[in-house]
Amino acid sequence: MKIKSLVLTGFGINCEEEMASAYQSPNTTVKILHLNELFLGKYSIHDFDILNFPGGFSFGDDIGSGKVLVNKIKFKKLSTGKYFIDEIDKFISQNKIILGVCNGFQVLTKMGLLPNINGNYEEEVTLTKNDSGKFEDRWVKCKINPNSKSPFLKNGQFPNNLIELPVRHGEGKLIIKNDEIKNKIIEQSLNFLSYTDKNGTITDKYPANPNGSELNCAGLINPKGNVLGLMPHPEAFLSLYNHPNWGKLKRENPNISEDGQGLKLFQNVINHLK
C-alpha cells in the first residue's frame, strides 16, 4: 500500500509544487489541494498519511506570518458540525505525520501544534521578525540534534550531523513563552535542528543564524515526534544541482550522491510510515 501525502495550497501559499515533488517516489502518491476543498468537504485529511503545510506568504503575512490562516483553520466549522482543528487533532492522535516549512512552521506554532508540550494546543512559542529587520534569502548550515527522537532527520545521516538548506523568511525568530517551556524543549530534545557557523558550531551570531531564534532553533518537533516544523526549506534541496556550489562539491567528491540533502527528510518520513 502506498503512503498518501497531502500538500495544502491557497491563500498565498506558494511552495506547494516543490513540496509535492519531494514525495515523488514509487512508494507514495501525492495530491495538492486548496484548503477550501477540505473546508467544503470535497476531501478529508483522513484519506492521507502526511499533511503538509508548505512555505509562502499566507494572507500576505499582514498580521504576523501565518496568523490569519491559523484563525481560519481553528475556527472553521465543517458541515459535520466539527471544527477543522478537531480533525487535525484526530489526525495527530492516529500517529500520522504533519510537516510545516517556513510559513507552514509559523502556522504550526501559532496553531499550538508545536511544540504542544502541555497537550492543549495553546501557543507556547511564536515566530516573529528577524533580528536583522529584513527578509533573509540564502543558504545556511544547521546541526541535527543527536538526541532528538525525530524520524525526520536522524543522528548520523550526514557528516558531523550537519545539513545545508536555504532560508527565505522575514519572520523566522523563535520566541519561547517562558522558561518552563524552554527547559522542557531542551530536556526532551524537541529543538531538533540548530543554526551553525561555517565550522559547524551552533551559533547565535548573524548572519550564520539568520534570525536570532532562541536556542538557535531552526526546527521543532512535538513530544510525540509526529509533528515537525522548520524554517529552512528541505524541499528546495532535492537535487545536488540545487546547491549553489554543486560544481565544487562534485569536484571534491566525484562519487557524491546526486540527491540533495533535503530529500532525505522526506524519504525518512515515508520509511517511518511504512
Judged against a pLDDT cut of 90, whether residue 161 lies above it is answered with yes
Residue 65 is predicted with a pLDDT of: 78
Residue 154 is predicted with a pLDDT of: 84
Provide the residue range defining the domain that includes 55: 3-273
Residue 63 is predicted with a pLDDT of: 74
Residue 58 is predicted with a pLDDT of: 85
Cell of 127: 515566530
The predicted-structure confidence for 248-259, as pLDDT tens digits, reads as follows: 999 999 999 999
Q: Is 217 one of the catalytic residues?
A: no
Cell of 223: 513530544
Q: Which CATH number belongs to the domain containing residue 11 in this structure?
A: 3.40.50.880
Indicate the pTM of the whole model.
0.95
Active-site residue, selected from the candidate residues 15, 16, 18, 102: 102
Q: Is 34 one of the catalytic residues?
A: no
Q: Is 233 one of the catalytic residues?
A: yes
* Distance (Å) of CA 23 to CA 12, 80, 166, 271, 274: 22, 30, 19, 12, 14
The predicted-structure confidence for 188-228, as pLDDT tens digits, reads as follows: 999 999 999 999 999 999 999 999 999 999 999 999 999 99
Q: What is the average pLDDT score of the chain?
A: 94
Residue 48, Cβ density class (10 Å: 0-12 exposed, 13-18 middle, ≥19 buried):
buried
Q: Domains in the chain: how many in total?
A: 1
Q: What percent of the chain shows pLDDT beyond 90?
A: 85
